[in-house]
Chains A and B, each alone.
Chain A
Amino acid sequence: MKLDSRIPEGPLEKKWQNHKANIRLVNPANKRNIDVIIIGTGLAGSSAAASLAEMGYNVKAFCFQDSPRRAHSIAAQGGINAAKNYQNDGDSVYRLFYDTIKGGDYRSREANVYRLAEVSANIIDQAVAQGVPFAREYGGTLDNRSFGGVQVSRTFYAKGQTGQQLLLGAYSALSRQISKGKVKLYNRHEMLDVVTVDGKARGIIAKNLVTGKVERFGAHAVVIASGGYGNVFYLSTNAMGSNGSAAWKAHKKGAAFSNPCFTQIHPTCIPVSGSHQSKLTLMSESLRNDGRIWVPKDLKDAEAIREGKLKATDLPEEKRDYYLERRYPSFGNLVPRDVASRAAKERCDEGFGVNKTGEAVYLDFAAAIERYGKTEANIQGIDNPTKEQVKELGTKVVEAKYGNLFAMYEKIVDDNPYQTPMMIYPAVHYTMGGLWVDYNLMTNVPGLFALGEANFSDHGANRLGASALMQGLADGYFVIPYTIGDYLSEEIRTGAIDTNHEAFATAEAEVNETIDKLLTKTTKKHSVDHYHRALGKIMWDKCGMARNAQGLQEAIKDIRALRAEFWESVNVPGSKNEMNPELDKAMRVADFMELGELMCQDALTREESCGGHFREEFQTEEGEALRRDEEFAFVSSWQYTGNPSEAELIKEDLIFENVELKTRSYK
C-alpha cells in the first residue's frame, strides 16, 4: 500500500493559500444534510466541533468525561506559541516554522509545519475575540514570554493556566453551538469502534458510560481528536481517563499509525513517591530558567542522602555535580526536554539519584534566590545586606514568579522548596506519534480524520514547549473547517447514514462480545490496574528514555505474555448494564496492551536516535543522540495485519527543500 500525503504543489509559503483557493466546497444548503462525528472535546475536538457547526454541518460531539470542559488540554500550563512578533524581536512565520522543524529533530513534514506557523497568529486573535483573558501589559496589550529551544518571545500565556483558558474558550464556542442545536453533545460516552462501509468511515459504536448501553451513531465523516496515548506507560502526566482507544480502534479498521515510538519524556516532574502513585504531576518547564539541576559528585554522598543521613543543603558547592552545566556549557539547564531527561536518567542509573528510590535529581533555587536578593537589595538601597536579608528579598522575587508552582509542589511532596531544593525526575508527557494523516488531516480511511495530539503530523520526534496548544487549535479552528469540505463535497448525494446497515450490526456485536469476554471469566486473578501497572513497567524499562534492540525484543514478548494473561484472568467486577468504571478501564488497558507492542516494534525498526527516541546502539562517543538522515529520514506508518507488531511498515520519505538538516548541538 502507498500513502499519498497530498502536499499541494508550489512554493512552501503559498501552499496553504493555493490549497484553500482550489479546495472543493459544500454549499450551505447541503451542509445542513451532512453529519460529522467528533471524538474528544479538548482543544482540537471542541474547536473543530464549534467551527464545523458554525459552518452549518450537524455535529455530534463525544467525550467520556461528565463535561466537555474536563478534557486534558485543560491541564496545559505554560503557554501557546504564535508568530505575532509583538515584541519586535525578529519573529516571523518562517522562524516559528524553522524552530518547530528543528525542535522535532527533522522528522516532520515541512508543508504541515509551515501551515501551523502560518495560522498561529489567527489563533490568538480568535481566542481574544472569544474573551480568553491572556496576560497583559500595563498599556493593555498582550504580554509574551520566552520558552525552551527558541531565541524569541512568542509565547502567549494566562498565568500557569493557559490550557485551561484556551479550552474554556473553545468550550464556550462549543456551548454556543449546542444551544443552537447544531451540536448534539454526548458526554459520558466512549467510542469503542469506527464503522466503515465500502471502505469509508460511516459512523461509530459508542458506549453510554452511565447506563452501559452500546449504541450506534452514523455520520458522513468521523473526526478523531481523542488526544495522546501516554497512559500506555501507566504513570504519566496525562489524566487518568486519557486513552488511546479511539485511535487504536481506527488503526485496527485500516488507518495507518505513524511513528508510535516517538514519546516525549518531560524532564521536570514530581518523582514517584511510592506504589500507591496513580499519576505524575508536571512542574512547568519555566522553572529551568532559574533552577539549577544537580546531584552529588560522590556516590557516598548520594547514598547518605538516600538514607536520610545527609541533607542536600549540607553538601558544599564543590561536592555537587551540576551535570547539565558541565555537559552542555552553552545551553546549561535550558537544553531541550529530550536532552535534559536523558541526562537525569544517566546520573540516576549511575547511582547518583537523591530520593528513596534513587530516581530523582535536585532542582535548586538557592542561587537564584541569592542573585535576585542582591539585585533587590540594590534597588531598595540596602548597603551590605546580611545573608538573611538577601535570602528574604530573593525568596519574595522567586515567589512572585513561581509561587503557584511552589505551592503545588509543597502540597504534593510536603516539603518547602524555598528552603530545600526540589526533587524532580522525568515523566511521560506527550506522544508525537499518532494516526497518519494527509495534508487535509484525513487518514488513509476515507472520511476518517485525526486532529491534535491524536495525529502524527507536526512535531516530528520531539515537541517544543507551548506548541501542543497551538497545534490543537490550528487543526480545529483553521484547518479542518476548510479541508473536510474537500471530502464531504462528494457526500452531498449520500443521504442520511443508515445505522441498520450490517456493518454497524457487526461492529456492535464485536463490541458486545469483547465486553462479555471481559466480564465472564472462570478465574479472576487480578484487577485491571495490576495489569496496567505491569504493562507500564515493561514500557518504561524497555521502551522509555533509552531503548536497545534486545530490550525491545524482550518487551514485545513480555507484552504478549501479559496480554494473554490479562484476557485469561483479569478481574472485572459488576455487570454491563450499569455505570461500571472498571469495565471502561479494562477496555482501555486492553487496547494499550496492543498499542504498546506496536510502539516497541516501531522503536526496534528505527535504528537511529532522534528527538525523544534514543537507541543506545546509536550514540556518539560523547553519549549524544546519533541521527541517521541517510537511512531514516522517513515517517514510519504501520498498517494493521492482525497482530500489533506484525503490522506492515510503510515509509513516507521526508523531503526537506527549505531547511538544511543539521545535527542539534547544545554543547
Chain B
Amino acid sequence: MDLKLKIWRQANTDSKGSLKDYQVKNVSADSSFLEMMDQLNEELIDKGDDPVAFDHDCREGICGMCSMHINGEPHGPESGTTTCQLHMRKFKDGDTIYVEPFRAKAFPVLKDLAVDRAALDRVIQAGGFVSVNTSGNTIDANAIPVPKADADAAFNAATCIGCGGCVAACPNASAMLFVSAKVSQLSLLPQGKVEAKERVTSMVNQMDLEGFGNCSNVGACAEECPVGISLENIARMNREYLSASLTSSK
C-alpha cells in the first residue's frame, strides 16, 4: 500500500517543531507501524535526509518504550495495542496518517517523536516499592498466604508497561492511571500494606511536582491503555489517599 504521512519534526527540546509531509510506497500490510517507519527512515537515509527519531525497543508490546500519537490517539487506532504491535493492515491504501509525539508538559520532546518520560520513573522512586533489602533471609514465600482474588487483582494492576499513553490520552495530561496501578498493586498485597500510607502520599505529591494534571474522570486513559489497566485503580488510589491523609501519624 502507498501512504501519506504527516510527521512531527523537532530538532531538540528547545527548538520549535512542525508537521512535515512524507510519502512511503509499497508498504506491506503485514509490517508493523514501526517497520513502516523503518522503511521510511531507510529511504530518507538513502536520499541523504535526516531520519525520524522515535523510541522503540522490544517490539512485542511489553517494554513500553514505543510511543507516538497516531491519528490523534496514543499508540494509534487499534484498542489494546502498542504502536509496535499495530499492523499496517489496519490502514488503507492511500491513507494520510498523522504521527506526533506524546503531548504532555511532563514529557518534553527530545527529538521528533521521542519524548522524555523520566518523570514516571521519579514517581516510582518516590515510593513505588516495598522497603525490603536483599538478604537471603526473607521469610518463606508461602509463609503469608495471599487470597487468589487479591493476587490476581494485584497482577492486573502490575501489568502496566509504563508507556505513558494514559498521560498522552488525558486532556489534563494526568498520570493518575499510571500512579494508581502501582499504588493498587502494592496496597492489595500484604507485603505492601506496611508502607501503604506513606507510599500513596509521596507518590501523589511527586506526581503533582512533575507537572501532571489532575483527574477529571474523563476515562480516556483506560480507553487508550494498551494493556487494559482499569479505572478501578484510580478509585482505589483515591480511597487510599483519603484514608492516608485522614489517619496518617505524620
Give the B-binding residues of A (Cβ under 8 A). Answer: 47, 50-51, 54, 65-72, 74-75, 84, 86, 119, 122, 124-131, 133-142, 158-159, 161, 164-165, 168, 171-173, 175-176, 178-179, 185, 187, 210, 237, 239-241, 273-274, 276-279, 281-282, 408, 411-414, 477-478, 481, 524, 526-527, 529-530, 571, 573-574, 578-579, 581-582
Contact = CB atoms under 8 A, between A and B. Distances in A.
A527 B134 contact: no
A390 B99 CA distance: 46
B125 interface: yes
Nearest to B131: A176
A158 B155 contact: yes
A141 B63 contact: no
Contacts of B130: 129-131, 172
B89 interface: yes
A357 B127 CA distance: 51
B151 A210 contact: no
Minimum-distance CB pairs A-B, first 7 = A140-B145, A172-B129, A133-B155, A276-B31, A128-B141, A179-B125, A133-B154
A434 B126 CA distance: 36
A276 B139 CA distance: 50
A276 B28 contact: yes
Given A133-B189, A172-B130, A176-B125, A164 B62 contact: yes
Interface residues of B, number: 78
Interface string B18-53: 000000000110111011101100101110111101
A142 B155 CA distance: 13
A51 B134 contact: yes
Contacts of B148: 136-138, 140
B12 interface: yes
Contact of B142 (A142, A176, A411): A142
Contacts of B76: none
6 contacts: A70-B57, A140-B145, A241-B57, A412-B87, A478-B136, A579-B110
B139 A129 contact: yes
Interface in B149-169: 151-152, 154-155, 158-159, 161-162
Given A124-B141, A571-B45, A579-B110, A412 B65 contact: no
A411 B185 CA distance: 28
B129 A175 contact: yes
B118 A67 contact: yes
Contact of B39 (A74, A119, A165, A276): A276
Contacts of A239: 57-59, 63
Nearest to B146: A140
A339 to B, nearest CB: 25
A526 B36 CA distance: 18
Contact of A172 (B32, B50, B59, B128): B128
Contacts of B65: 65-67, 70
A130 B128 CA distance: 10
Contacts of B2: none
B126 A179 contact: yes
B121 A68 contact: yes
B58 A131 contact: no
A67 to B, nearest CB: 5
Interface string B97-117: 000000000000011001011
Most A C-beta atoms less than 10 A away, residue of B60, B117, B118, B134: B134
A164 B163 CA distance: 14
Contacts of B174: none
A239 to B, nearest CB: 4
A414 B87 contact: yes
Given A66-B117, A477-B134, A172 B124 contact: yes
Nearest to A130: B130
A527 B42 contact: yes
Given A527-B42, A582-B45, A75 B62 contact: yes
B211 interface: no
Contacts of A161: 62, 159
B64 interface: yes
Given A66-B55, A414-B87, A136 B151 contact: yes
A478 B136 CA distance: 7
Nearest to A69: B162
B50 to A, nearest CB: 6
A579 B111 contact: yes
A281 B48 CA distance: 32
A119 B135 CA distance: 11
Contacts of A127: 141
Nearest to A481: B134
A176 B198 CA distance: 13
Contacts of B114: 66, 579
B192 interface: yes
B129 A176 contact: yes
A129 B110 CA distance: 37
B87 A141 contact: no
Nearest to A241: B57
Contact of A578 (B111, B118, B131): B111
A82 to B, nearest CB: 9
A119 B134 CA distance: 12
Contacts of A481: 134
A92 B63 CA distance: 34
- Which of B31, B58, B121, B154 is most buried by chain A, counting CB atoms within 10 A of its CB? B58
A47 B134 contact: yes
A411 B83 CA distance: 12
A274 B30 contact: yes
Nearest to B128: A172
A558 to B, nearest CB: 22
B28 A274 contact: yes
A372 to B, nearest CB: 23
Contacts of A237: 60
B134 A54 contact: yes
Nearest to A580: B53
Interface in B205-248: none
A503 to B, nearest CB: 32
A141 B131 CA distance: 22
A86 B142 CA distance: 9
Contact of A408 (B36, B56, B61, B185): B61
B59 A129 contact: no
Among B50, B133, B139, chain A packs the most CB atoms within 10 A around the CB of B133
Contacts of A131: 129-130, 154, 185-186, 189, 191-192
Contacts of A241: 57
Contacts of B185: 131, 133
Contact of B38 (A50, A70, A168, A278): A278
A129 B146 CA distance: 12
Nearest to A482: B136
Contacts of B133: 51, 54
A578 B62 contact: no
Given A131-B186, A241-B57, A582-B45, A175 B128 contact: yes
Contacts of B136: 119, 122, 126, 477-478
Given A128-B191, A139-B145, A178-B125, A411 B30 contact: no
